[in-house]
Amino acid sequence: MANIYGVLPVLEALRAGARRIDRIVIAEGTRDARLRDVIEAARAARVPIRREPRVTLDRLTHNANHQGVMAVTSAATYSEADDLLSQISSETIFILLDGVEDPHNLGAIIRTAECGGASAVIVPERRAAHITDAVAKTSAGAVEHLPVARVTNLASFIEELKKNNVWVIGVESSAEMTYTEFNYSGALALVFGGEGHGLHRLVRERCDAVVSIPMQGKLTSLNVSVAVGVVLFEALRQRSGTKPRSY
């Protein structure tokens, strides 16, 4: 079993219907107007609703910002990487994360990826953040809609992508080509390194190209979730037909 907390994550879990929800728990005295949508969605899905003291939700969520609502659900399920490979088309955009370990970063990336029309997020099985209640909360419910897959070896998965005619583009601050110079048409995989270490050597070597995001301030890098948004929405802009670039 798992807990999802926060108004938007609980609401999106109810709407998506991707996993079993045993009950919704609402803190006594909660007056958030958005809870009406949660209650209506729970009733439509025939999910029981219980009122409990706020301290109960505090305990069950380890004092997280639950906004007075929690869903008791089955554990999140991951998509199969092979299924994602079988569904590749010219519109595919995969987000590959090379060792992102902060759950809040992963949640923010999933939210950005879903908003930017990405096809899936792929993470390594080891030394990486995985789907937790904190990730679900930070993603604002996007984890209920966007496929997330785990792979044993990211470098090997990149080779499989290339066999399926997917262009693999790494993002790293040291790259000479800037992210706006690349042509993001066709099936793509955008690869981002983890906090602090960037792309691992084997992953970088398997990329078809590596691009950078120029910095204008005194700091030399962006938070990885922000970097995902910058590059993904540039790809989205190009695919919309606005001023495409060549490489």
Give the CA distances from residue 207 to residues 39, 169, 175, 190, in Å, rounded to whole numbers and listed in that order: 47, 6, 12, 9
**Domain 2-73 indexed as CATH 3.30.365.10:** no
Residue 243 has pLDDT above 80, yes or no: no
pTM, to two decimals: 0.81
Residue 151 has pLDDT above 60, yes or no: yes
Write down the pLDDT at residue 1.
Answer: 62
Residue 93 · residue 122 · CB < 8 Å: no
Write down the pLDDT at residue 240.
Answer: 85
Residue 38 · residue 96 · CB < 8 Å: no
Mean of the pLDDT values across residues 62-67?
A: 87
Q: What is the mean pLDDT of the chain?
A: 90
Write down the pLDDT at residue 244.
Answer: 42
CA 237 to chain centroid: 20
Residue 186 has pLDDT above 90, yes or no: yes
Which CATH superfamily groups domain 81-239?
SPOUT methyltransferase, trefoil knot domain (3.40.1280.10)
pLDDT digits (tens, 9 = 90+) for 20-32: 889 999 999 887 7
Mean of the pLDDT values across residues 99-112?
A: 93
Q: Are strands 69-73 and 2-5 parallel, antiparallel or unpaired?
A: antiparallel
Residue 107 has pLDDT above 80, yes or no: yes
The ranges assigned to domains in the chain are: 2-73, 81-239
The Cα–Cα gap between 166 and 36 comes to 44
Write down the pLDDT at residue 242.
Answer: 52
Give one DSSP letter per residue of 188-245, joined into a string. Answer: EEEEEEBTTTBS-HHHHHH-SEEEE----SS-----HHHHHHHHHHHHHHHHTTSS--
Fold equal for 2-73 and 81-239 = no
Give one DSSP letter per residue of 86-99, joined into a string. Answer: HT--TT-EEEEEES
Residue 103 has pLDDT above 50, yes or no: yes
pLDDT digits (tens, 9 = 90+) for 196-237: 788 999 999 999 999 999 988 887 778 999 999 999 999 999
The Cα–Cα gap between 63 and 69 comes to 12
Please identify which residue in the block is written with the tokens 């080509």: 177
Of the chain, the percentage scoring pLDDT greater than 90 comes to: 60
Residue 12 has pLDDT above 90, yes or no: no
Mean of the pLDDT values across residues 110-116?
A: 95
